[in-house]
Structure 1
Amino acid sequence: MAELARRLGVPDAVVIGLGSMLGAGVFVVFAPAAAAAGGAGLLVALALAGFIAFCNATSSARLAARYPESGGTYVYGRERLHPFAGFLAGWGFVIGKTASCAAMALTIGAYLWPGRARLIAVLAVLAVTAVNLRGIGKTAAATRVLVGVVLTVLAVVAVTGAPHVATDRLAGFADTGVRGVLTAAGLLFFAFAGYARIATLGEEVRDPERTVPRAVPLALGVVLAIYLVLAVVAVGVLGEQRLGDSTAPLAEVVTAAGLPGLAWLVRAGATVAVTGVLLSLLAGVGRTTLAMARRRDLPGALAAVHPRYQVPHRAELAVAAVVIVVVSLVDVRGAIGFSSCTVLVYYAIANASALTLGRDPARKLPVQLLAALGLVGCLLLAVNLPVASVLTGFGVLALGAAWYALRHTTRPT
């Protein structure tokens, strides 16, 4: 079986994690989360989503150190629980993140050329796929540049908006109460899910037992701090009603702060940020597809690794083709809800797998308790997402389960 080259150290892994997370939350999900939970509810939901992400990160890091290969929870579920659990995790990840890729591509189109958003989205998918096919080293280098640009733009928004924050706008919850906070937390979880990209690239990380446990919490902590600052600024400047109705909230922040000339910079930064997300998303989905194809849960032809660039080129091309098809069908907010539902199931399986590892005397954290809280939290957020997202997400998971059962029933013994 062809192996992927181990080229990523801690800095590269952190950068890929940052590139996967930064952008999705800041530029996409703050508005629907504020509409669901209100101003104060948004901040509570962000803290809740961050805590559950931390639980998941702890479990994922332990599992990635034990199983340093591509595939993430698809591998962990197979090895620690049952082959079906692994399949369900892999299936949920692939379909959920394919929807995420389509949503991110459409966002790029909406920012660059609203009148031709779908055309720009297709071109973005083709361009990002071309970068990924050149090798994971190229992906890490490109993501490093994107992260630097995004951090600069977000700093401009924070510094511009901070003097105009009205503290009274930070109070108040939506009429939906606790359910609204849980719905918002489920949507905001979409913004944190990128840290798993480090685990799904486990076969390409140098010294994974040391690199992954360091890179995952470091990337997550940096992003959580950035999100909290920007959430306070966005709610404090715009208020929950205007934020909830906004399609480009951070551009509106600088406009409301009296500097409309900076809106173009924020829109350009959003395009760069979402491109970084798409870059890492496609890489992660391609590698999970590779892992599933190696075990014949997907067509075996997708398990090929390019002899020169050491990337799963057939898997990445197949994923890109599916994303291009989905781009013509999806709605951005609906895609976020659908993706969150299936990815939360993915992490629920990761936490269940981590529970089977037992206690870890080398860690000061109560890792078993965190895994249990992560498992319950993932399921709680998943079922409290918008009804359409829950029905669609669990329906597609059920279709995958039925196909798995049929395939194993008809397979010769």
Structure 2
Amino acid sequence: RFNDSGQLVQCNGSLPNGDKGRRKSRFALCRRNKANGVKPSTVHTSCTPQAAKAISNKEQHSISYTLSRAQTVVVEYTHDSNTDMFQIGRSTENPIDFVVTDTMPGGQSHTDGQTIQSTISRFACRIICQRNPPYSARIYAAGFDSSKNIFLGEKAAKWRMQDGQMDALTTNGVLVMHPRHGFSQDSKPGLWREISVCGNVFTLRETRSAQQRGKMVDSESNELVDGSLIDLCGATLLWRTAEGLALTPTVKHLEALRQELNAGRPQCPVGFNTLAFPSLRRKDTLDEKQPWAYMRCGHVHGYHGWGGRRDPVVEAECQERECPMCRARGPYVPLWLGCEAGFYVDAEPPTHAFVPCGHVCSEKTTAYWSQIPLPHGTHAFHAACPFCIQPLNGEAGAVRLIFQSPLD
């Protein structure tokens, strides 16, 4: 049994519409009762009856590479009893084990009623895991559809390798970033790479869907490590290993840190009322004791209405305000504890907040995520809060919180 799981960067530990079925904020990959992995076998370089049979046979996995209207190369895949395959994509068809949807800043997701075109592929990628130790997991671009086929059209970037096998890139690509020094308080971001259909590693294209592929990086592999980020052009997954998660703070530990913070009875330096972080279960409901902070300086207050709108919900839209303690001007927002334990690089107390969203976690966790350029659109990158993917502002992307202790 292996508990490697992908943490979907979304709305602070849960989806906006709740975790249901194959659409969740986190997924655990466990050894299947029966192996369903596949590996490449016969290559058909012309439209032979065997090639046509491989495509039409719904019990036979195959990948079709269309080179021109006159030529299609078909690669048959055969059963591999040593591996399990898990597929990820936007489609809700049965071959997809984990359904992911586009995520907007603040954790909103595109709904079926919206006309915004999704950039996530219906069959985005597949992860092949060994069934026996060391349970290594490798990622490949594209997933097999309901007919167990992958079709790469004329416009897809594709090429023939030296061993005669074909390879290709998908339209918007599957990008992976492996952290340096593992996923810990010493972690540093690695370089973003693109993974091909056959699992080879390439430097990034000029834009996500450019025809020209990057350079092949022979020294790197498609094997996922603790803390690997997988970007599907619209959603980003964080891969955690069972060993890595064993060292990560639990939700119970985060709750203990919350209670310890509240036990210090922090006060509003203006209203002198006691502040308290709401329980993790009530993480989205503004409370009268809710701590608020000025994001420019980090001074923590209770909510007060002067110098801005009196509706705290509207106020949360981030109006600039002047801190009464130091006169620094900047966003004035409610503070929320980061609830997804898988994002923490250590188990230290929550002392810092991401700017401008106000999600609170440990200093080294904010420092790590503030350094990571997450893919945005087809060619941009920016650092973002992992709990709500809102782009970060300011030099550091985070601020140290300054709490006022009780006067008594």
- Per chain length, whose mean CA-contact separation is higher, i.e. which structure has more relative contact order (CA < 8 Å, sep 6+)? 1
- TM-score normalised to structure 2 length: 0.26
Q: Which structure's CA Rg is the greater one?
A: 2
- TM-score normalised to structure 1 length: 0.26
Higher strand share: 2
Higher helix share: 1
